[in-house]
Chains A and B, each alone.
Chain A
Amino acid sequence: GESVGLHLPTLSVQEGDNSIINCAYSNSASDYFIWYKQESGKGPQFIIDIRSNMDKRQGQRVTVLLNKTVKHLSLQIAATQPGDSAVYFCAENNAGNMLTFGGGTRLMVKP
């Protein structure tokens, strides 16, 4: 796995700071959303998911927020670490178990 395209939006944060990665989804009928992390040479790794009947879900150091009104999803990473450096994708589950992925955001963590 590698970065998607040459012009990925990039978020650069200082180690220890919180990171917020945003995503706009397209289908108002989508009922399930997933955040993935993709490191160079690897496939997408599941981070956290949320169903459309929820607004917020928390995991270990990560929180996903869902705003269905404006079709917006965000991933918050607390106390960002160098190991969090990767490309992050949001995905929405459409009918037929087809995941539609966003274009990705590259997170760079400065030591």
Chain B
Amino acid sequence: EAGVTQSPTHLIKTRGQQATLRCSPISGHTSVYWYQQALGLGLQFLLWYDEGEERNRGNFPPRFSGRQFPNYSSELNVNALELEDSALYLCASSLDRTGSSNQPQHFGDGTRLSIL
């Protein structure tokens, strides 16, 4: 069974540009999550999508946005890039929608975003 896949592996942008990161969940998983792993700050929750809807959002500005497609894949968009956006962006997927049955989130290997 294929795991969570993310593309691109690496992305280099300059300040003010826009970045689009992509994620394909494990087959059968409907929930997709995005996390930021910045050096010194650990993993921070960004967004949760399920059935095409944004279900929860972390403490990030509105220039971080995303969407989920009918096939459950997802995009993360970051507008007006700033130097501090340099980080590893991780996508995870799970079976669970409501959280009540607490299914584990399984992660991809991330997209390394570097802002010059």
Contact = CB atoms under 8 A, between A and B. Distances in A.
Interface of A: 1-2, 4-6, 31-32, 34, 36, 41-46, 49, 51, 89, 91, 93, 95-104
6 contacts: A5-B41, A6-B40, A43-B4, A43-B109, A96-B56, A101-B42
Interface in B75-116: 88, 90, 92, 94, 96, 99, 102, 104-110
Contact of B104 (A41, A49, A101, A104): A49
Contacts of A101: 42-43
Contacts of A93: 99, 102
A51 B104 CA distance: 11
Interface of B: 4, 31, 33, 35, 37, 39-43, 45, 48, 55-56, 58, 88, 90, 92, 94, 96, 99, 102, 104-110
A89 B99 contact: no
A49 B108 contact: no
Nearest to B99: A97
A89 B104 CA distance: 14
Contacts of B99: 93, 95-97
B95 to A, nearest CB: 11
**Which of A1, A51, A89, A93 gathers most chain B CB within 10 Å?**
A1
